[in-house]
Amino acid sequence: MFDWITTWIESLGYLGIFGLMVLEHLFPPIPSELVMPLAGFVSSSSTSDMTLAGVILAGSLGSLIGASAWYVVGLLITHEQLMGWVERHGRWLTLKPKDIEKAIAFFQQTGGSWVVGLGRMVPGVRTYVSVPAGLSHMPLLPYLSYSALGTVLWTGALAVAGYVLGDQFDRVQEWLGPVSKIVLISCAIAAVIWIAKRRRHRQS
């Protein structure tokens, strides 16, 4: 997979990064965990015209647009229609019903608009957390604001890691497991605090 992605980034530059990050959300086998560190590494080369800031901007815009496609899907159809479509056609996108259910459960258990931003930094959830946001008719501006924040942090961290690690950029994927666990634990703690505050507010 490295070769064609490398060729795409080197040939198309920022446009290639943008396109790959859009496709990541529509065709999950293309992972940002590979694209952004590789793009960061390419930008570190003295022969490259790309800058690290440009790489982060292109990747973030592509990721935000790709994720927003699922937000629109959530707005336009019901939960039952979505799950039925995934069961019938999801295999063509390597998408399983449990992927959607996992994102919906993550959204519902943590609560609050901020979960969209945090969800954008959790592998396995980041693409599909936009679905429950759409299904719940979360207002567009808060969705875009929180999603953009999480997206820039995620793509930025991956690109910087690739830039710093150089030709060992593929080691970034080794670190994602522990980082994901930290984010999930943080979400759980935040959810408990949020629920406790709501209960206190209702009782007062």
The 10s digit of each residue's pLDDT in 106-157 is 676 666 567 788 778 777 677 778 888 888 888 889 899 999 999 999 899 8
Q: Which residues of 112-123 are buried (b: 16+ CB within 10 A; e: fewer)?
A: eebbbbbbbbbb
Highest mean pLDDT, choosing among 57-71, 80-94, 95-109: 57-71
Q: From the CB of residue 65, how many other CB atoms can be counted at a distance below 10 Å?
A: 14
What's the whole-model pTM score? 0.73
Among residues 190, 191, 63, 61, the alpha carbon closest in space to that of 120 is found at: 63
Phi, psi (rounded to 5 degrees) for 12 = -100, -10
Q: Measure CA of the first residue to CA of the last residue in the chain; give whole Å.
A: 57
Residue 77's pLDDT is: 83
pLDDT in tens, 24-59: 887 766 777 788 888 888 888 877 889 999 999 999
